[in-house]
Amino acid sequence: MSQQGLDLIFEQILSGGLVFRDRNLLRHDYMPATLPHREEQIRRLGSVLAPALSRERVSNLFAYGKTGTGKTIVTRFVLDRLQRKAKDHGRAVDTSYVNCRLAGTNYRVIADLCRALGEDVPFTGLAVGELFDRLRNALQSRESAFLVVLDEIDALVKRSDDDSLLYELTRINERLDGGWIGVIGISNDLHFKDFLDPRVLSSLGEEELVFKPYSSEELYDILKDRAEQAFQEGVLDDGALRLCSALAAGEHGDARRALDLLRVAGEIGERAKEERILESHVRMAQQKVEHDRVTEVLSSLPLHSRILLISVLHLESARKESSVTGDVYEVYRGLCSAAAVEPLTQRRISGLLNELDIMGIINARVVSFGRYGRTKKIRLGVEPQAVKSAFGNDELVRGLLEYAPRGLPGHQGR
Ligand SMILES: Nc1ncnc2c1ncn2[C@@H]1O[C@H](COP(=O)(O)OP(=O)(O)OP(=O)(O)O)[C@@H](O)[C@H]1O
Ligand SMILES: [Mg+2]
Protein backbone atom coordinates (compact mmCIF):
# COMPACT_ATOMS: atom_id res chain seq x y z
CA MET A 1 0.00 0.00 0.00
CA SER A 2 1.26 3.47 -0.87
CA GLN A 3 2.10 6.02 1.73
CA GLN A 4 -0.87 8.00 0.48
CA GLY A 5 -3.26 5.08 0.84
CA LEU A 6 -2.15 4.55 4.39
CA ASP A 7 -2.49 8.22 5.15
CA LEU A 8 -6.01 8.09 3.86
CA ILE A 9 -6.92 5.27 6.24
CA PHE A 10 -5.56 7.22 9.19
CA GLU A 11 -7.21 10.42 8.09
CA GLN A 12 -10.52 8.69 7.74
CA ILE A 13 -10.33 7.35 11.26
CA LEU A 14 -9.27 10.73 12.58
CA SER A 15 -12.24 12.36 10.96
CA GLY A 16 -14.47 9.64 12.39
CA GLY A 17 -14.46 7.27 9.39
CA LEU A 18 -17.08 6.87 6.70
CA VAL A 19 -19.73 5.67 9.07
CA PHE A 20 -19.15 7.61 12.28
CA ARG A 21 -18.65 11.29 12.73
CA ASP A 22 -18.07 10.90 16.45
CA ARG A 23 -18.68 7.49 17.96
CA ASN A 24 -18.02 8.78 21.47
CA LEU A 25 -21.55 10.07 21.51
CA LEU A 26 -22.74 6.49 21.70
CA ARG A 27 -20.62 5.65 24.72
CA HIS A 28 -22.39 4.92 28.01
CA ASP A 29 -20.62 7.65 29.92
CA TYR A 30 -21.34 10.41 27.42
CA MET A 31 -23.54 13.13 28.91
CA PRO A 32 -26.05 14.40 26.31
CA ALA A 33 -27.23 17.99 26.49
CA THR A 34 -30.83 16.86 26.84
CA LEU A 35 -32.44 13.67 28.12
CA PRO A 36 -35.64 13.06 26.18
CA HIS A 37 -38.56 11.52 28.09
CA ARG A 38 -37.01 12.10 31.48
CA GLU A 39 -38.26 15.65 31.98
CA GLU A 40 -40.54 14.54 34.81
CA GLN A 41 -37.77 12.73 36.74
CA ILE A 42 -35.36 15.63 36.22
CA ARG A 43 -37.90 18.08 37.55
CA ARG A 44 -38.79 15.93 40.58
CA LEU A 45 -35.19 15.29 41.52
CA GLY A 46 -34.35 18.94 40.95
CA SER A 47 -37.11 20.09 43.28
CA VAL A 48 -36.16 17.61 45.97
CA LEU A 49 -32.52 18.72 45.90
CA ALA A 50 -33.00 22.44 45.32
CA PRO A 51 -33.23 23.41 49.03
CA ALA A 52 -29.55 22.44 49.29
CA LEU A 53 -28.78 25.70 47.49
CA SER A 54 -29.97 27.65 50.48
CA ARG A 55 -28.44 25.22 52.99
CA GLU A 56 -31.77 23.78 53.93
CA ARG A 57 -31.99 20.08 54.47
CA VAL A 58 -33.25 17.94 51.65
CA SER A 59 -35.22 14.72 51.92
CA ASN A 60 -33.43 11.48 51.23
CA LEU A 61 -34.52 9.93 48.01
CA PHE A 62 -34.68 6.45 46.63
CA ALA A 63 -34.68 6.01 42.85
CA TYR A 64 -35.42 2.71 41.26
CA GLY A 65 -36.23 1.21 37.90
CA LYS A 66 -34.90 -1.50 35.65
CA THR A 67 -31.50 -1.42 34.05
CA GLY A 68 -30.89 1.19 31.34
CA THR A 69 -33.86 3.39 32.28
CA GLY A 70 -31.72 6.47 32.84
CA LYS A 71 -31.33 6.49 36.64
CA THR A 72 -27.61 7.17 36.64
CA ILE A 73 -27.61 9.67 33.80
CA VAL A 74 -30.55 11.66 35.20
CA THR A 75 -28.98 11.84 38.66
CA ARG A 76 -25.63 12.96 37.31
CA PHE A 77 -27.35 15.46 35.07
CA VAL A 78 -29.26 17.06 37.92
CA LEU A 79 -26.29 17.10 40.31
CA ASP A 80 -24.15 18.64 37.63
CA ARG A 81 -26.63 21.46 37.01
CA LEU A 82 -27.13 21.97 40.73
CA GLN A 83 -23.43 22.33 41.30
CA ARG A 84 -23.05 24.81 38.49
CA LYS A 85 -25.88 26.85 39.90
CA ALA A 86 -24.32 26.74 43.36
CA LYS A 87 -21.03 27.93 41.95
CA ASP A 88 -22.62 30.77 39.99
CA HIS A 89 -24.25 32.00 43.17
CA GLY A 90 -21.32 31.39 45.48
CA ARG A 91 -23.18 28.75 47.51
CA ALA A 92 -21.43 25.79 49.11
CA VAL A 93 -22.86 22.45 48.06
CA ASP A 94 -20.69 19.36 48.16
CA THR A 95 -21.65 16.31 46.19
CA SER A 96 -20.25 12.85 45.87
CA TYR A 97 -21.17 10.08 43.50
CA VAL A 98 -20.23 6.54 44.52
CA ASN A 99 -20.93 3.40 42.59
CA CYS A 100 -21.36 0.89 45.43
CA ARG A 101 -20.83 -2.14 43.24
CA LEU A 102 -17.46 -0.84 42.11
CA ALA A 103 -16.51 0.39 45.57
CA GLY A 104 -17.37 -3.08 46.86
CA THR A 105 -17.35 -2.62 50.64
CA ASN A 106 -18.89 -0.35 53.26
CA TYR A 107 -15.38 0.77 54.16
CA ARG A 108 -14.58 1.96 50.67
CA VAL A 109 -17.87 3.75 50.27
CA ILE A 110 -17.42 5.79 53.46
CA ALA A 111 -13.76 6.37 52.68
CA ASP A 112 -14.83 7.80 49.32
CA LEU A 113 -17.28 10.10 51.06
CA CYS A 114 -14.63 11.29 53.51
CA ARG A 115 -12.26 12.03 50.64
CA ALA A 116 -14.95 14.00 48.84
CA LEU A 117 -14.99 16.28 51.87
CA GLY A 118 -11.22 16.64 51.78
CA GLU A 119 -10.49 14.18 54.61
CA ASP A 120 -7.39 12.12 54.16
CA VAL A 121 -8.22 8.50 55.00
CA PRO A 122 -6.17 5.35 54.42
CA PHE A 123 -7.37 2.71 51.97
CA THR A 124 -7.71 0.13 54.73
CA GLY A 125 -7.00 -0.22 58.39
CA LEU A 126 -9.47 1.97 60.26
CA ALA A 127 -12.59 0.68 61.91
CA VAL A 128 -15.75 1.59 60.04
CA GLY A 129 -16.96 3.42 63.15
CA GLU A 130 -13.84 5.57 63.09
CA LEU A 131 -14.51 6.45 59.45
CA PHE A 132 -18.01 7.51 60.38
CA ASP A 133 -16.65 9.76 63.12
CA ARG A 134 -14.37 11.43 60.61
CA LEU A 135 -17.22 11.89 58.18
CA ARG A 136 -19.36 13.43 60.90
CA ASN A 137 -16.57 15.77 62.00
CA ALA A 138 -15.91 16.85 58.45
CA LEU A 139 -19.59 17.63 57.97
CA GLN A 140 -19.86 19.41 61.29
CA SER A 141 -17.01 21.76 60.48
CA ARG A 142 -18.20 22.58 56.97
CA GLU A 143 -21.67 23.73 57.76
CA SER A 144 -22.86 22.99 54.26
CA ALA A 145 -24.96 20.55 52.32
CA PHE A 146 -23.44 17.25 51.30
CA LEU A 147 -25.41 15.36 48.68
CA VAL A 148 -24.41 11.76 48.34
CA VAL A 149 -25.42 9.51 45.50
CA LEU A 150 -25.10 5.81 46.25
CA ASP A 151 -25.60 4.17 42.89
CA GLU A 152 -26.23 0.41 42.65
CA ILE A 153 -26.78 0.53 46.39
CA ASP A 154 -28.23 -3.00 46.44
CA ALA A 155 -24.78 -4.42 45.73
CA LEU A 156 -23.61 -3.34 49.19
CA VAL A 157 -26.47 -4.80 51.12
CA LYS A 158 -26.61 -8.03 49.17
CA ARG A 159 -22.92 -8.68 49.36
CA SER A 160 -22.63 -8.26 53.08
CA ASP A 161 -26.20 -8.95 54.26
CA ASP A 162 -25.75 -5.81 56.25
CA ASP A 163 -27.50 -2.48 55.94
CA SER A 164 -25.75 -0.78 58.86
CA LEU A 165 -24.00 1.62 56.50
CA LEU A 166 -27.31 2.89 55.18
CA TYR A 167 -28.71 3.05 58.67
CA GLU A 168 -25.80 5.14 59.93
CA LEU A 169 -25.84 7.40 56.90
CA THR A 170 -29.51 8.17 57.05
CA ARG A 171 -29.25 8.86 60.80
CA ILE A 172 -26.12 10.95 60.69
CA ASN A 173 -28.04 14.24 60.57
CA GLU A 174 -29.60 13.60 63.96
CA ARG A 175 -26.28 14.19 65.61
CA LEU A 176 -25.18 17.16 63.55
CA ASP A 177 -25.94 20.79 64.02
CA GLY A 178 -23.47 22.07 61.43
CA GLY A 179 -23.58 20.55 57.99
CA TRP A 180 -25.86 17.76 56.95
CA ILE A 181 -26.06 14.96 54.46
CA GLY A 182 -28.73 14.02 51.91
CA VAL A 183 -28.68 10.50 50.51
CA ILE A 184 -29.86 9.53 47.06
CA GLY A 185 -29.96 5.76 46.73
CA ILE A 186 -30.30 4.12 43.33
CA SER A 187 -31.14 0.53 42.54
CA ASN A 188 -32.29 -1.51 39.58
CA ASP A 189 -33.44 -4.33 41.81
CA LEU A 190 -37.12 -3.77 42.29
CA HIS A 191 -37.13 -6.15 45.25
CA PHE A 192 -34.29 -4.38 46.98
CA LYS A 193 -36.62 -2.67 49.40
CA ASP A 194 -37.56 -6.05 50.84
CA PHE A 195 -33.96 -6.50 51.98
CA LEU A 196 -33.91 -3.35 54.05
CA ASP A 197 -34.55 -2.80 57.69
CA PRO A 198 -37.86 -0.87 57.94
CA ARG A 199 -36.11 1.99 59.73
CA VAL A 200 -33.65 2.38 56.88
CA LEU A 201 -36.42 2.12 54.35
CA SER A 202 -38.55 4.81 55.94
CA SER A 203 -35.62 7.17 56.14
CA LEU A 204 -34.04 6.49 52.74
CA GLY A 205 -37.39 6.40 51.03
CA GLU A 206 -38.67 9.78 52.20
CA GLU A 207 -39.03 10.49 48.52
CA GLU A 208 -39.26 7.92 45.77
CA LEU A 209 -38.55 8.31 42.11
CA VAL A 210 -39.57 5.62 39.68
CA PHE A 211 -37.99 5.08 36.28
CA LYS A 212 -40.28 3.16 33.99
CA PRO A 213 -38.88 1.17 31.07
CA TYR A 214 -38.71 3.19 27.87
CA SER A 215 -41.15 2.37 25.11
CA SER A 216 -39.96 1.72 21.61
CA GLU A 217 -40.96 5.26 20.51
CA GLU A 218 -39.15 6.83 23.44
CA LEU A 219 -36.02 4.87 22.69
CA TYR A 220 -36.28 5.98 19.10
CA ASP A 221 -36.25 9.64 20.17
CA ILE A 222 -33.31 9.07 22.49
CA LEU A 223 -31.32 7.26 19.83
CA LYS A 224 -32.20 9.72 17.11
CA ASP A 225 -30.85 12.65 19.07
CA ARG A 226 -27.54 10.94 19.68
CA ALA A 227 -27.29 9.26 16.28
CA GLU A 228 -27.67 12.51 14.38
CA GLN A 229 -24.37 13.70 15.75
CA ALA A 230 -22.68 10.32 16.03
CA PHE A 231 -23.11 9.16 12.42
CA GLN A 232 -22.10 10.74 9.14
CA GLU A 233 -24.99 12.28 7.32
CA GLY A 234 -27.18 9.89 5.36
CA VAL A 235 -25.39 6.77 6.59
CA LEU A 236 -27.89 5.50 9.11
CA ASP A 237 -31.08 4.03 7.72
CA ASP A 238 -34.20 4.98 9.64
CA GLY A 239 -35.39 1.38 9.65
CA ALA A 240 -32.17 0.38 11.40
CA LEU A 241 -32.78 2.98 14.06
CA ARG A 242 -36.35 1.77 14.54
CA LEU A 243 -35.19 -1.80 14.84
CA CYS A 244 -32.64 -0.93 17.53
CA SER A 245 -35.41 0.79 19.50
CA ALA A 246 -37.88 -2.03 19.02
CA LEU A 247 -35.41 -4.74 20.03
CA ALA A 248 -34.32 -2.88 23.15
CA ALA A 249 -37.92 -2.07 24.07
CA GLY A 250 -38.88 -5.71 23.62
CA GLU A 251 -36.38 -6.68 26.24
CA HIS A 252 -37.09 -4.23 29.02
CA GLY A 253 -36.94 -0.72 27.62
CA ASP A 254 -33.21 -0.51 28.12
CA ALA A 255 -31.54 2.57 26.59
CA ARG A 256 -28.08 1.14 27.17
CA ARG A 257 -28.97 -1.90 25.11
CA ALA A 258 -30.39 0.31 22.37
CA LEU A 259 -27.20 2.38 22.25
CA ASP A 260 -25.04 -0.75 22.17
CA LEU A 261 -27.02 -2.17 19.28
CA LEU A 262 -26.63 1.04 17.35
CA ARG A 263 -22.91 1.38 18.01
CA VAL A 264 -22.14 -2.24 17.21
CA ALA A 265 -24.28 -2.14 14.05
CA GLY A 266 -22.23 0.88 12.97
CA GLU A 267 -18.98 -0.91 13.72
CA ILE A 268 -20.02 -4.02 11.81
CA GLY A 269 -20.96 -1.90 8.81
CA GLU A 270 -17.76 0.07 9.07
CA ARG A 271 -15.61 -3.03 9.07
CA ALA A 272 -17.47 -4.39 6.04
CA LYS A 273 -16.86 -1.04 4.36
CA GLU A 274 -20.58 -0.45 3.89
CA GLU A 275 -21.85 2.96 2.99
CA ARG A 276 -25.10 2.56 4.87
CA ILE A 277 -26.12 0.99 8.14
CA LEU A 278 -29.21 -1.14 7.62
CA GLU A 279 -31.51 -3.43 9.57
CA SER A 280 -29.35 -6.41 8.63
CA HIS A 281 -26.42 -4.84 10.52
CA VAL A 282 -28.62 -4.36 13.56
CA ARG A 283 -29.57 -8.06 13.47
CA MET A 284 -25.92 -9.02 13.40
CA ALA A 285 -25.25 -6.54 16.19
CA GLN A 286 -27.96 -8.13 18.30
CA GLN A 287 -26.26 -11.50 18.17
CA LYS A 288 -22.90 -10.03 19.03
CA VAL A 289 -24.20 -7.87 21.87
CA GLU A 290 -26.07 -10.77 23.45
CA HIS A 291 -23.10 -13.07 23.16
CA ASP A 292 -20.75 -10.46 24.65
CA ARG A 293 -23.11 -9.73 27.49
CA VAL A 294 -23.47 -13.35 28.51
CA THR A 295 -19.74 -13.97 28.27
CA GLU A 296 -18.98 -10.91 30.33
CA VAL A 297 -21.47 -11.74 33.05
CA LEU A 298 -20.36 -15.37 33.23
CA SER A 299 -16.68 -14.61 33.41
CA SER A 300 -17.17 -12.16 36.25
CA LEU A 301 -19.09 -14.61 38.46
CA PRO A 302 -17.50 -15.49 41.79
CA LEU A 303 -16.65 -19.09 42.68
CA HIS A 304 -19.84 -20.13 44.46
CA SER A 305 -22.07 -18.69 41.77
CA ARG A 306 -20.07 -20.66 39.24
CA ILE A 307 -20.46 -23.90 41.17
CA LEU A 308 -24.15 -23.16 41.56
CA LEU A 309 -24.60 -22.57 37.88
CA ILE A 310 -22.82 -25.82 37.07
CA SER A 311 -25.23 -27.56 39.45
CA VAL A 312 -28.16 -26.20 37.47
CA LEU A 313 -26.45 -27.24 34.27
CA HIS A 314 -25.91 -30.82 35.49
CA LEU A 315 -29.48 -31.13 36.68
CA GLU A 316 -30.84 -29.78 33.46
CA SER A 317 -28.82 -32.06 31.25
CA ALA A 318 -29.82 -35.05 33.35
CA ARG A 319 -33.52 -34.28 33.47
CA LYS A 320 -34.35 -31.93 30.64
CA GLU A 321 -36.70 -30.04 32.91
CA SER A 322 -36.52 -27.38 35.58
CA SER A 323 -35.28 -28.23 39.05
CA VAL A 324 -36.39 -27.11 42.48
CA THR A 325 -34.13 -25.13 44.78
CA GLY A 326 -33.61 -28.07 47.15
CA ASP A 327 -32.24 -30.29 44.38
CA VAL A 328 -29.95 -27.57 43.15
CA TYR A 329 -28.63 -27.16 46.66
CA GLU A 330 -27.98 -30.90 47.00
CA VAL A 331 -26.00 -31.04 43.78
CA TYR A 332 -24.18 -27.86 44.75
CA ARG A 333 -23.08 -29.47 48.02
CA GLY A 334 -21.92 -32.51 46.13
CA LEU A 335 -19.82 -30.40 43.81
CA CYS A 336 -18.37 -28.41 46.69
CA SER A 337 -17.30 -31.56 48.38
CA ALA A 338 -15.73 -32.86 45.17
CA ALA A 339 -13.81 -29.62 44.85
CA ALA A 340 -12.94 -29.48 48.56
CA VAL A 341 -14.67 -26.13 48.90
CA GLU A 342 -16.66 -25.21 51.99
CA PRO A 343 -20.33 -24.92 50.86
CA LEU A 344 -22.38 -21.82 51.69
CA THR A 345 -25.61 -22.03 53.66
CA GLN A 346 -28.88 -22.59 51.84
CA ARG A 347 -29.89 -19.04 52.70
CA ARG A 348 -26.82 -17.57 51.01
CA ILE A 349 -27.38 -19.85 48.04
CA SER A 350 -30.90 -18.58 47.65
CA GLY A 351 -29.46 -15.06 47.52
CA LEU A 352 -27.00 -16.09 44.83
CA LEU A 353 -29.79 -17.75 42.86
CA ASN A 354 -31.71 -14.47 43.02
CA GLU A 355 -28.72 -12.61 41.66
CA LEU A 356 -28.28 -15.08 38.81
CA ASP A 357 -31.96 -14.71 38.04
CA ILE A 358 -31.74 -10.91 37.93
CA MET A 359 -28.77 -11.16 35.58
CA GLY A 360 -30.80 -13.45 33.33
CA ILE A 361 -28.32 -16.31 33.68
CA ILE A 362 -31.01 -18.54 35.15
CA ASN A 363 -34.78 -18.28 35.10
CA ALA A 364 -36.44 -18.85 38.45
CA ARG A 365 -40.16 -19.15 38.99
CA VAL A 366 -41.83 -19.39 42.37
CA VAL A 367 -44.21 -22.34 42.65
CA SER A 368 -46.47 -23.24 45.50
CA PHE A 369 -46.86 -26.78 46.79
CA GLY A 370 -49.97 -26.10 48.81
CA ARG A 371 -49.36 -27.01 52.40
CA TYR A 372 -45.77 -28.02 51.65
CA GLY A 373 -44.92 -24.37 51.12
CA ARG A 374 -43.21 -22.68 48.26
CA THR A 375 -40.11 -23.33 46.27
CA LYS A 376 -38.53 -22.12 43.09
CA LYS A 377 -38.31 -23.88 39.76
CA ILE A 378 -35.03 -23.13 38.14
CA ARG A 379 -33.85 -23.35 34.55
CA LEU A 380 -30.72 -22.29 32.81
CA GLY A 381 -31.27 -18.94 31.07
CA VAL A 382 -28.29 -19.20 28.72
CA GLU A 383 -26.83 -21.80 26.37
CA PRO A 384 -24.96 -24.59 28.19
CA GLN A 385 -22.16 -24.09 25.70
CA ALA A 386 -21.76 -20.46 26.78
CA VAL A 387 -21.25 -21.60 30.39
CA LYS A 388 -18.74 -24.23 29.36
CA SER A 389 -16.67 -21.89 27.29
CA ALA A 390 -16.76 -19.05 29.82
CA PHE A 391 -15.56 -21.33 32.63
CA GLY A 392 -13.12 -23.21 30.43
CA ASN A 393 -9.99 -21.55 31.77
CA ASP A 394 -10.95 -21.82 35.43
CA GLU A 395 -9.21 -25.05 36.36
CA LEU A 396 -11.17 -25.88 39.49
CA VAL A 397 -14.50 -25.18 37.90
CA ARG A 398 -13.65 -26.95 34.65
CA GLY A 399 -13.16 -30.16 36.59
CA LEU A 400 -16.67 -29.81 38.00
CA LEU A 401 -18.15 -29.48 34.55
CA GLU A 402 -16.97 -32.99 33.81
CA TYR A 403 -17.77 -34.38 37.22
CA ALA A 404 -21.02 -36.32 37.57
CA PRO A 405 -22.33 -35.50 41.02
CA ARG A 406 -24.46 -37.75 43.19
CA GLY A 407 -28.16 -37.11 43.40
CA LEU A 408 -28.73 -36.93 39.67
CA PRO A 409 -31.12 -39.32 38.01
CA GLY A 410 -29.25 -41.56 35.61
CA HIS A 411 -25.89 -40.66 37.14
CA GLN A 412 -24.29 -42.84 39.77
CA GLY A 413 -21.41 -40.53 40.57
CA ARG A 414 -17.86 -41.75 40.31
N1 LIG B 1 -33.38 9.91 28.31
C2 LIG B 1 -32.18 9.62 27.84
N3 LIG B 1 -31.59 10.37 26.89
C4 LIG B 1 -30.36 10.07 26.42
N5 LIG B 1 -29.64 9.02 26.82
C6 LIG B 1 -30.17 8.23 27.77
C7 LIG B 1 -31.45 8.48 28.33
N8 LIG B 1 -31.71 7.51 29.23
C9 LIG B 1 -30.65 6.70 29.23
N10 LIG B 1 -29.72 7.12 28.37
C11 LIG B 1 -28.45 6.47 28.08
O12 LIG B 1 -28.61 5.07 28.25
C13 LIG B 1 -27.54 4.51 28.98
C14 LIG B 1 -28.06 3.85 30.24
O15 LIG B 1 -28.60 4.84 31.12
P16 LIG B 1 -28.24 4.83 32.67
O17 LIG B 1 -26.79 4.48 32.83
O18 LIG B 1 -28.70 6.08 33.27
O19 LIG B 1 -29.15 3.60 33.12
P20 LIG B 1 -29.46 3.11 34.61
O21 LIG B 1 -30.92 3.25 34.82
O22 LIG B 1 -28.54 3.74 35.57
O23 LIG B 1 -29.15 1.55 34.46
P24 LIG B 1 -28.48 0.53 35.53
O25 LIG B 1 -29.57 0.20 36.50
O26 LIG B 1 -28.09 -0.64 34.72
O27 LIG B 1 -27.33 1.23 36.17
C28 LIG B 1 -26.56 5.63 29.24
O29 LIG B 1 -25.55 5.57 28.28
C30 LIG B 1 -27.38 6.87 29.07
O31 LIG B 1 -26.58 7.89 28.53
MG1 LIG C 1 -26.88 3.07 36.60
Q: Considering only CA atoms, which residue is closest to atom 28 of ligand 1? A: 28
Residue 86's CB is within 10 A of a number of other CB atoms, namely: 18
Compute the average pLDDT of residues 138-162.
Answer: 83
Coil, helix or strand for 162? coil
Say which residues have a Cβ less than 8 Å from residue 40's Cβ, sequence separation at least 6: none
Domain spanning 3-23+214-298, CATH class? mainly alpha
Label residue 410 left, alpha or beta by phi (over 0 means left) and psi (-120 to 50 means alpha): left
Asked if pLDDT for residue 32 goes beyond 70, the answer is yes
70 within ligand 1 shell (Cβ under 6 A) = yes
Domain spanning 301-402, CATH class? mainly alpha
Tell me the residue length of the chain. 414
Label residue 17 left, alpha or beta by phi (over 0 means left) and psi (-120 to 50 means alpha): left
Say which residues have a Cβ less than 8 Å from residue 274's Cβ, sequence separation at least 6: 19, 281
Ligand 2 centroid to Cα of residue 346, in Å, is 30
69 within ligand 1 shell (Cβ under 6 A) = yes
pLDDT tier, 414 (very low <50, low <70, confident <90, very high otherwise): very low
Q: Which of 28, 73, 74, 191 to mutate to test the pocket of ligand 1 (most atoms within 8 A of CB)?
A: 73
Asked if pLDDT for residue 413 goes beyond 60, the answer is no
Helical packing angle, 346-358 and 325-338, nearest 10°: 110
pTM: 0.80
255 within ligand 1 shell (Cβ under 6 A) = yes
pLDDT tier, 268 (very low <50, low <70, confident <90, very high otherwise): very high
Q: Closest Cα to residue 255, out of 297, 288, 213?
A: 213
Asked if pLDDT for residue 85 goes beyond 70, the answer is yes
Cβ proximity of 401 and 339 under 8 Å: no
pLDDT tier, 409 (very low <50, low <70, confident <90, very high otherwise): low
Return the pLDDT at 293.
Answer: 87
Domain range summary for the chain, segments of one domain joined by +: 3-23+214-298, 39-211, 301-402
Asked if pLDDT for residue 292 goes beyond 70, the answer is yes
Ligand 2 centroid to Cα of residue 64, in Å, is 10
Q: Given the DSSP bridges, would you call strands 93-99 and 207-211 parallel, antiparallel or unpaired? A: unpaired
Cβ proximity of 70 and 211 under 8 Å: yes
39-211 CATH choice from 3.90.660.10, 3.40.50.300, 1.10.10.10, 3.40.50.2300: 3.40.50.300
Residue 227's CB is within 10 A of a number of other CB atoms, namely: 23
Return the pLDDT at 83.
Answer: 94
170 within ligand 1 shell (Cβ under 6 A) = no
DSSP state of 20: B
35 within ligand 1 shell (Cβ under 6 A) = yes
